[in-house]
Copies of this chain bind each other. A is one copy, B any other.
Amino acid sequence: MSRQPATTDRRIEILKSAAAAFRRRGYHGASVDEIASALEMTKGNLYYYFKNKEEILFACHEYSLGKLLVLMDEVEAESLSPDARLRRLVLAFVHLILDDLHGTALTLDPEALSPPLLKRIIAKRDRFDHGIRTIIQQGIDQGVFKPGDPKMIEFAMMGAINWISKWFDPNGAMTSDQIGDAFADYLVGGLQQ
Protein backbone atom coordinates (compact mmCIF):
# COMPACT_ATOMS: atom_id res chain seq x y z
CA MET A 1 0.00 0.00 0.00
CA SER A 2 1.41 3.40 -0.96
CA ARG A 3 1.63 5.93 1.80
CA GLN A 4 -0.97 8.66 1.60
CA PRO A 5 0.82 11.97 1.02
CA ALA A 6 0.38 14.56 3.75
CA THR A 7 -2.04 17.40 3.04
CA THR A 8 0.78 19.89 2.52
CA ASP A 9 2.50 17.66 -0.03
CA ARG A 10 -0.75 17.17 -1.88
CA ARG A 11 -1.34 20.90 -1.95
CA ILE A 12 2.12 21.48 -3.40
CA GLU A 13 1.51 18.84 -6.07
CA ILE A 14 -1.65 20.70 -7.04
CA LEU A 15 0.26 23.98 -7.21
CA LYS A 16 2.86 22.37 -9.50
CA SER A 17 0.21 20.95 -11.79
CA ALA A 18 -1.56 24.33 -11.84
CA ALA A 19 1.70 26.18 -12.51
CA ALA A 20 2.30 23.93 -15.54
CA ALA A 21 -1.26 24.44 -16.81
CA PHE A 22 -1.10 28.25 -16.34
CA ARG A 23 2.20 28.28 -18.19
CA ARG A 24 0.78 26.25 -21.10
CA ARG A 25 -2.57 27.97 -21.51
CA GLY A 26 -2.49 31.14 -19.44
CA TYR A 27 -4.47 31.62 -16.24
CA HIS A 28 -7.76 32.28 -18.00
CA GLY A 29 -7.26 29.43 -20.50
CA ALA A 30 -6.43 26.74 -17.93
CA SER A 31 -9.27 24.83 -16.26
CA VAL A 32 -9.52 23.26 -12.80
CA ASP A 33 -10.46 20.06 -14.64
CA GLU A 34 -7.15 19.84 -16.42
CA ILE A 35 -5.20 20.70 -13.26
CA ALA A 36 -7.00 17.86 -11.44
CA SER A 37 -6.84 15.31 -14.25
CA ALA A 38 -3.06 15.78 -14.71
CA LEU A 39 -2.84 14.48 -11.12
CA GLU A 40 -5.42 11.74 -11.70
CA MET A 41 -7.60 13.47 -9.17
CA THR A 42 -11.28 14.25 -9.46
CA LYS A 43 -12.33 17.86 -9.54
CA GLY A 44 -14.30 17.21 -6.34
CA ASN A 45 -11.19 15.95 -4.60
CA LEU A 46 -9.24 19.02 -5.70
CA TYR A 47 -11.96 21.26 -4.25
CA TYR A 48 -11.19 19.69 -0.89
CA TYR A 49 -7.84 21.53 -1.02
CA PHE A 50 -8.73 24.70 -2.91
CA LYS A 51 -12.08 26.39 -3.29
CA ASN A 52 -11.49 27.63 -6.87
CA LYS A 53 -8.90 28.52 -9.50
CA GLU A 54 -8.26 31.93 -8.03
CA GLU A 55 -7.38 30.39 -4.69
CA ILE A 56 -4.87 28.13 -6.50
CA LEU A 57 -3.25 31.10 -8.25
CA PHE A 58 -3.07 32.95 -4.94
CA ALA A 59 -1.49 29.90 -3.27
CA CYS A 60 1.11 29.68 -6.09
CA HIS A 61 2.15 33.28 -5.54
CA GLU A 62 2.11 32.89 -1.78
CA TYR A 63 4.20 29.71 -1.90
CA SER A 64 6.94 31.23 -4.09
CA LEU A 65 7.05 34.56 -2.32
CA GLY A 66 6.97 32.76 1.03
CA LYS A 67 10.11 30.83 0.11
CA LEU A 68 11.89 34.00 -0.94
CA LEU A 69 10.86 35.85 2.22
CA VAL A 70 12.04 33.03 4.51
CA LEU A 71 15.40 33.24 2.79
CA MET A 72 15.39 37.03 3.05
CA ASP A 73 14.89 36.71 6.83
CA GLU A 74 17.76 34.23 7.08
CA VAL A 75 20.05 36.38 5.01
CA GLU A 76 19.17 39.50 7.00
CA ALA A 77 19.99 37.69 10.25
CA GLU A 78 23.47 36.72 9.04
CA SER A 79 26.45 39.01 9.17
CA LEU A 80 27.51 38.51 5.57
CA SER A 81 28.76 41.25 3.25
CA PRO A 82 26.15 42.86 0.95
CA ASP A 83 27.55 41.08 -2.11
CA ALA A 84 27.44 37.66 -0.43
CA ARG A 85 23.86 38.28 0.73
CA LEU A 86 22.75 39.49 -2.69
CA ARG A 87 24.43 36.54 -4.38
CA ARG A 88 22.56 34.08 -2.12
CA LEU A 89 19.23 35.73 -2.93
CA VAL A 90 19.92 35.81 -6.69
CA LEU A 91 20.86 32.12 -6.68
CA ALA A 92 17.75 31.21 -4.67
CA PHE A 93 15.52 33.20 -6.99
CA VAL A 94 17.02 31.56 -10.10
CA HIS A 95 16.43 28.14 -8.56
CA LEU A 96 12.89 29.05 -7.65
CA ILE A 97 12.22 30.05 -11.27
CA LEU A 98 13.87 26.96 -12.74
CA ASP A 99 13.32 24.13 -10.31
CA ASP A 100 10.26 24.77 -8.26
CA LEU A 101 6.98 26.09 -9.57
CA HIS A 102 8.89 27.21 -12.62
CA GLY A 103 8.48 30.76 -11.46
CA THR A 104 4.85 30.82 -12.42
CA ALA A 105 3.87 32.60 -9.31
CA LEU A 106 6.32 35.34 -10.02
CA THR A 107 6.13 35.70 -13.78
CA LEU A 108 2.37 35.25 -14.11
CA ASP A 109 0.40 38.40 -13.91
CA PRO A 110 -1.14 38.57 -10.42
CA GLU A 111 -3.72 41.04 -11.78
CA ALA A 112 -6.03 38.06 -12.30
CA LEU A 113 -6.52 38.03 -8.52
CA SER A 114 -9.34 39.97 -6.93
CA PRO A 115 -8.30 43.16 -5.09
CA PRO A 116 -8.07 41.79 -1.50
CA LEU A 117 -5.90 38.81 -2.56
CA LEU A 118 -3.85 40.96 -4.96
CA LYS A 119 -3.15 43.36 -2.11
CA ARG A 120 -1.69 40.59 0.04
CA ILE A 121 0.58 39.39 -2.78
CA ILE A 122 1.74 42.91 -3.58
CA ALA A 123 2.57 43.48 0.10
CA LYS A 124 4.83 40.40 0.09
CA ARG A 125 6.42 41.32 -3.21
CA ASP A 126 7.08 44.82 -1.90
CA ARG A 127 8.78 43.35 1.16
CA PHE A 128 11.07 41.29 -1.06
CA ASP A 129 11.82 44.21 -3.42
CA HIS A 130 12.51 46.44 -0.44
CA GLY A 131 14.89 43.86 1.06
CA ILE A 132 16.87 43.65 -2.18
CA ARG A 133 17.06 47.44 -2.52
CA THR A 134 18.24 47.78 1.08
CA ILE A 135 21.11 45.37 0.46
CA ILE A 136 22.09 47.24 -2.73
CA GLN A 137 21.99 50.54 -0.84
CA GLN A 138 24.13 49.11 1.98
CA GLY A 139 26.65 47.87 -0.59
CA ILE A 140 26.83 51.34 -2.13
CA ASP A 141 27.11 53.03 1.28
CA GLN A 142 29.91 50.68 2.31
CA GLY A 143 31.76 51.29 -0.96
CA VAL A 144 31.48 47.59 -1.91
CA PHE A 145 29.19 48.43 -4.85
CA LYS A 146 29.53 51.20 -7.42
CA PRO A 147 27.15 54.16 -6.99
CA GLY A 148 23.77 53.78 -8.70
CA ASP A 149 20.01 53.89 -8.23
CA PRO A 150 19.07 50.85 -6.08
CA LYS A 151 15.53 50.84 -7.43
CA MET A 152 16.56 50.72 -11.10
CA ILE A 153 19.25 48.13 -10.35
CA GLU A 154 16.73 45.98 -8.52
CA PHE A 155 14.22 46.23 -11.38
CA ALA A 156 16.90 45.22 -13.90
CA MET A 157 18.09 42.34 -11.72
CA MET A 158 14.63 40.95 -11.04
CA GLY A 159 13.60 41.39 -14.70
CA ALA A 160 16.64 39.45 -15.91
CA ILE A 161 15.76 36.58 -13.57
CA ASN A 162 12.02 36.60 -14.21
CA TRP A 163 12.69 36.50 -17.96
CA ILE A 164 14.56 33.18 -17.63
CA SER A 165 11.22 31.40 -17.79
CA LYS A 166 10.84 32.72 -21.38
CA TRP A 167 13.97 31.12 -22.79
CA PHE A 168 14.92 28.27 -20.49
CA ASP A 169 14.98 24.91 -22.23
CA PRO A 170 14.93 22.00 -19.75
CA ASN A 171 16.63 19.90 -22.46
CA GLY A 172 19.26 22.58 -23.10
CA ALA A 173 22.94 22.38 -22.25
CA MET A 174 22.85 24.62 -19.18
CA THR A 175 21.88 23.27 -15.75
CA SER A 176 20.07 25.51 -13.31
CA ASP A 177 23.27 25.69 -11.20
CA GLN A 178 25.25 26.96 -14.17
CA ILE A 179 22.60 29.53 -15.03
CA GLY A 180 22.46 30.64 -11.39
CA ASP A 181 26.22 31.13 -11.24
CA ALA A 182 26.38 32.96 -14.58
CA PHE A 183 23.56 35.28 -13.53
CA ALA A 184 25.03 35.96 -10.08
CA ASP A 185 28.48 36.64 -11.60
CA TYR A 186 27.00 39.15 -14.01
CA LEU A 187 24.23 40.74 -11.93
CA VAL A 188 26.01 40.89 -8.55
CA GLY A 189 29.61 40.85 -9.79
CA GLY A 190 28.78 43.81 -12.04
CA LEU A 191 27.91 45.94 -9.03
CA GLN A 192 31.29 45.54 -7.42
CA GLN A 193 33.75 48.41 -7.43
Contact = CB atoms under 8 A, between A and B. Distances in A.
A170 interface: no
* Total identical chains: 2
B190 A189 contact: yes
A82 B179 CA distance: 24
Chain A interface mostly helix, strand, loop or mixed?
helix
B26 A182 contact: no
Nearest to A155: B167
A117 interface: no
Interface in A117-160: 146, 148-149, 152-153, 155-160
A157 B183 CA distance: 10
Interface of A: 26, 146, 148-149, 152-153, 155-164, 166-167, 174, 179, 182-183, 185-187, 189-191
